[in-house]
């Protein structure tokens, strides 16, 4: 639990924290008890002092001394046996106001926190847009053309839920949003506007999500985790790992943060993940299969090409569009924080609103591996039975054999099938899923310690 999380009642913690020498933020946001506005990162042997804008900047011991002298503390060097006021302050800082991690944490305002029993100093606050009541007509038209009325309303609900948490300095879970549409439709522009509304920082989690690195420190300070890379990988292992990490980013309150050259720690960031994909099957192969465990955690939206408020041949086109839309962001933020209401039928206690799956996007997603296996069996049923019957006899209505025989026969008939069987007994695992899904087509029995699969021929073949 964080002593600074407004979602928790910290009033009872203040006396305890004061006795324990811990730091609790007051109503003005300033740490109660640390009168020096300086903290010490023990693992790195360096100090952080508060800047004029409320953030914290790293400094050396010399810089910390100078900052303390500026606050009126004396630092004469006439007697080495007695600590000066500055030296006493530094000793107190290293003894009481030390932290294990100093850096940004997505969605958290600058200050001292306790995260999962660890002392952390959040060094930078998100750059929040000041809400102002007004018109946002250009943005509204852009969103309607890009998404249509219903999808626009859903996206506004997603933003409403995220902004309410961000402006209250609290944690709330939120779904992954996948925006699928043609190139140059306005997807990237929308993502940039979302970044502005969510504190001004974005980062790509792709390398970490796909297992290319174990370090994710660069994600610490970005509320908006944006996947906007033109990549595709149909390897089931990569997709499975990708899906598992995505579920973790959405469902888990506590996240593992591992910056390079630093000890890993547990934090509670406010992360929102979005993906921008082209509307073709090859681009959508990166998505995890929409299994039951992830269906409520991912939303699929279809984007259309949107008209933009500038001429195509204007050399300053992009800058004019950006100025036009960002000028309306304060009004949109005001509307989302103070006026927007989620539809009753969309309400969800955990994520704010239920997930939306656009049917046009669902049609483009590659079938689940077990469905692909059944399709392969139907397409090569004759090859599957070839070794069991005389080639002059008609193809039997039923096949019986172990999973390893099924795997070998299908790979021989179609070498590309090898990618489905990426792990030992993967064929048997997929047949087991088909058995649950289509028991009239696939069933099993055990004979002499070996599982034998019975596969019924598709009546349409």
Banded pLDDT at 393 (limits 50, 70, 90): low
Query: How does residue 24 score in pLDDT terms, banded at 50, 70 and 90?
Result: very low
Give the residue ranges of DSSP H helices in 168-261: 187-197, 206-209, 236-251
Average the pLDDT over 258-263 and give the result.
83
Residues 6+ apart with CB under 8 A from 199: 106, 107, 126, 127, 128, 166, 222, 223, 224
Contact 247, 294 (CB under 8 A): yes
pLDDT of 18 over the 80 cut: no
Strand, helix or coil at 121?
A: strand
User: What average pLDDT does the segment 183-212 reach?
Assistant: 91
Average pLDDT over residues 345-364: 92
Using the predicted structure, report yes or no on whether residue 279 has a pLDDT greater than 90: no
SS3 content of the chain, % helix, strand, coil (to 5): 40, 20, 45
What is d(CA 443, CA 269) in angstroms, rounded to the nearest whole number? 46
Angle CA(5)–CA(8)–CA(14) in degrees, nearest 5?
85
The token pair at 458 is 């598709």
Which pTM was predicted? 0.75
The two structure tokens encoding residue 162: 């995220």
Domains, the chain, in order of start with CATH, read: 13-122 (no CATH), 137-362 (3.40.50), 369-456 (1.10.10)
């Amino acid at each position: 639990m964080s002593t600074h999380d407004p979602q928790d009642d910290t009033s009872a913690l203040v006396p305890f924290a004061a006795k324990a020498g811990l730091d609790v933020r007051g109503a003005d946001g300033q740490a109660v008890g640390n009168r020096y506005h300086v903290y010490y990162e023990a693992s790195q042997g360096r100090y952080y002092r508060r800047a004029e804008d409320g953030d914290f900047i790293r400094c050396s011991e010399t810089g910390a001394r100078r900052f303390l002298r500026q606050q009126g503390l004396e630092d004469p060097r006439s007697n080495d046996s007695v600590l000066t006021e500055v030296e006493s302050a530094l000793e107190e800082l290293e003894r009481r106001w030390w932290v294990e991690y100093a850096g940004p944490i997505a969605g958290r305002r600058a200050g001292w926190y306790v995260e999962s029993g660890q002392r952390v100093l959040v060094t930078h606050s998100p750059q929040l847009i000041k809400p102002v009541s007004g018109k946002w007509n250009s943005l509204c038209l852009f969103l309607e053309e890009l998404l249509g009325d219903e999808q626009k309303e859903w996206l506004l609900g997603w933003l409403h839920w995220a902004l309410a948490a961000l402006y209250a300095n609290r944690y709330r879970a939120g779904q992954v949003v996948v925006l699928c549409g043609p190139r140059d439709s306005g997807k990237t522009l929308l993502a940039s506007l979302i970044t502005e509304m969510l504190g001004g920082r974005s980062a790509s989690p792709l390398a970490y999500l796909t297992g290319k690195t174990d370090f994710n420190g660069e994600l610490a300070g970005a509320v908006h985790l944006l996947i906007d890379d033109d990549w595709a990988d149909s390897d089931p292992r990569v997709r499975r790992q990708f899906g598992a990490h995505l579920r973790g980013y959405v469902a888990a309150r506590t996240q593992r943060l591992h910056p390079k050259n630093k000890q890993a720690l547990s934090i509670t960031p406010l992360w929102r993940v979005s993906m921008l994909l082209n509307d073709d099957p090859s681009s959508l192969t990166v998505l995890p299969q929409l299994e039951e465990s992830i269906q409520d955690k991912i939303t699929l939206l279809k984007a259309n090409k949107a008209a933009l408020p500038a001429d195509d041949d204007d050399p300053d086109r992009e800058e004019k569009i950006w100025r036009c839309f960002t000028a309306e962001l304060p009004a949109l933020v005001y509307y989302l924080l103070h006026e927007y209401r989620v539809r009753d039928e969309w309400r969800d206690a955990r994520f704010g609103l239920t997930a939306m799956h656009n049917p046009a996007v669902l049609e483009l997603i590659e079938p689940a591996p077990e469905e692909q296996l059944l399709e392969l069996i139907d397409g090569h049923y004759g090859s599957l039975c070839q070794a069991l019957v005389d080639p002059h006899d008609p193809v039997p209505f039923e096949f019986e054999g172990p999973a390893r025989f099924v795997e070998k026969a299908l790979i021989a008939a179609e070498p590309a099938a090898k990618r489905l069987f990426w792990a030992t007994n993967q064929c048997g695992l997929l047949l087991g899923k088909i058995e649950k899904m289509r028991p009239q087509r696939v069933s099993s029995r055990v004979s002499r310690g070996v599982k034998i699969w019975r596969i019924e021929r598709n009546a349409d073949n």
